Amino acid sequence: MPELPEVTTTTKKLNEILPSLKIVSVWTNYNSSYFYGKENIKDPKYFAKFKKEAIGSKIISSYRIGKNVLIDIQKPKIKDKKTILIHMKMTGHVLYGKYKRAEIEEMVSGERKKVNGWVPVDKGPLQDKFNQYIRLVFELSNGNFLVLSDARRFAKVCLISDRVVKEFKDLKGLGPDPTEKEFNLKRFKEILNKKPVGKIKSILMEQELISGIGNIYSDEALWMTEIHPEEKPSRLSSTEIKELLKNIKSVLKKGIDFGGDSTSDYRQPDGTPGNFQKHHKVYRRKNEECLKPKCSGTISRIVVGGRSAHFCDTHQKLKR
């Protein structure tokens, strides 16, 4: 589900809601997949520690690093803060709403298959779908709940107690953030120089090189720049690299401005879908006509680095 704009949308909303609320209690029904200790090893016993740290803590703020949701928390009278890291992977949803406490408690303990939660915007079957896959629940001091719904159980939750969050294993290896001012042409060229003969789409999505870009936004940025997804960086002109950088930044901004992409099932914390999917030029438009003005091409789909890549067969040609 989430790439940089979706995660940004989520953390921005969380940051409007959560700061100064306290975590009253925490439940999970999927210990073994979610809690990682300092060594970053999956182990159900870490949930006990996670719970102990979380309960009684006040939420300070929420922000994004790469595709990770970070939530800083702090216990009263304790100087050091801790940080909750949530990676939503494919089907994770961080949602905030009203639930009946008894129902959600029963559900998470496995006594109930689903709850009638409050994810207000979706009136259709998706609402049930989200509530059916709630894996982790934070009860908050205002009586509302912050929950992680995750059908495929790929999501990851960690508690970071290190003072320097960026030194945490999952975050340390991430490449620079393309929305930062410091991510300039010089920096971008240095990155591309590391992989002169790689496939440009795969490079854009490699989190160790650049953090935050995934399948949707890489397709869109390459379409805008008229570059084939399998093109080698060594064949790109200086002008193309400059344009590509500009388009990456603008398409990510557009994704954020539209509240994320709900092609699949991304939802903002209050259940609202994003709108970027209404503005795709290529992603998931296989066999449809190219939307570039005056281009009469058709959108093709191929597999690049194990992922689907969409491009126009006419204005995104491989250089020979």
Q: Which two three-digit tokens encode residue 245?
A: 């950088």
Question: Which of residues 60 and 126 has its CB atom nearest to DNA in the complex?
Answer: 126
The least distance separating DNA from the CB of residue 139, rounded to whole angstroms, comes to 24
Give the residue, chosen from 121, 264, 288, 319, that forms a contact with DNA under the rule CB under 7 A. 264
Give the residue, chosen from 15, 25, 74, 207, that forms a contact with DNA under the rule CB under 7 A. 207
305 binds DNA (CB under 7 A): yes
Report the alpha-carbon distance of residue 107 to residue 29 in Å, rounded: 8
Give the residue, chosen from 117, 175, 178, 214, that forms a contact with DNA under the rule CB under 7 A. 214
185 touches 177 (CB < 8 A) = no
Would you tell me how many other CB atoms lie within 10 Å of the CB of residue 271? 20
The least distance separating DNA from the CB of residue 154, rounded to whole angstroms, comes to 4
Give the residue, chosen from 242, 308, 314, 317, that forms a contact with DNA under the rule CB under 7 A. 308
Give the residue, chosen from 55, 151, 291, 295, that forms a contact with DNA under the rule CB under 7 A. 151
Name the one residue in this structure whose structure tokens are 């259940």.
271
302 binds DNA (CB under 7 A): no
Q: Which residues neighbour 95 within 8 Å (Cβ) at sequence distance 6 or greater?
A: 117, 119, 130, 146, 147, 148, 149, 267, 269, 270, 271
Q: Which residues neighbour 189 within 8 Å (Cβ) at sequence distance 6 or greater?
A: 241
3 binds DNA (CB under 7 A): yes
3-state secondary structure 100-127: CHHHHHHHHCCCCCCCCCCCCCCCCHHH
Question: Which of residues 69 and 245 has its CB atom nearest to DNA in the complex?
Answer: 69
Report the alpha-carbon distance of residue 12 to residue 18 in Å, rounded: 10
276 binds DNA (CB under 7 A): no
Give the residue, chosen from 175, 178, 198, 271, that forms a contact with DNA under the rule CB under 7 A. 198
The least distance separating DNA from the CB of residue 247, rounded to whole angstroms, comes to 17
The least distance separating DNA from the CB of residue 241, rounded to whole angstroms, comes to 19
Report the alpha-carbon distance of residue 122 to residue 107 in Å, rounded: 21
254 binds DNA (CB under 7 A): no
Q: Which residues neighbour 168 within 8 Å (Cβ) at sequence distance 6 or greater?
A: 83, 85, 158, 160, 162
Report the alpha-carbon distance of residue 285 to residue 298 in Å, rounded: 9
Question: Which of residues 132 and 314 has its CB atom nearest to DNA in the complex?
Answer: 132
Question: Which of residues 32 and 296 has its CB atom nearest to DNA in the complex?
Answer: 32
**Which one-letter amino acid corresponds to residue 108?**
V
Nearest to 156 by CA among 34, 37, 44: 34
- Sites for DNA among residues 81-120 (CB under 7 A): 87, 89-91
Q: How far is CA 96 from the centre of its chain?
A: 16
58 binds DNA (CB under 7 A): no
301 binds DNA (CB under 7 A): yes
What character string, x for contact with DNA (CB under 7 A) and - otherwise, covers 178-197?
-----------------x-x
The least distance separating DNA from the CB of residue 308, rounded to whole angstroms, comes to 3
202 touches 305 (CB < 8 A) = yes
In the chain, where does DSSP find H-type helix?
Answer: 4-17, 31-34, 46-54, 101-108, 125-132, 169-172, 185-194, 200-205, 215-225, 238-257
Question: Which of residues 152 and 163 has its CB atom nearest to DNA in the complex?
Answer: 152
Question: Which of residues 5 and 57 has its CB atom nearest to DNA in the complex?
Answer: 5
170 binds DNA (CB under 7 A): yes
Contact positions toward DNA, by CB under 7 A?
1-3, 6, 66-67, 87, 89-91, 125-126, 129, 132, 151-154, 170, 195, 197-198, 202, 205, 207, 214-216, 261, 263-266, 284, 301, 303, 305-308
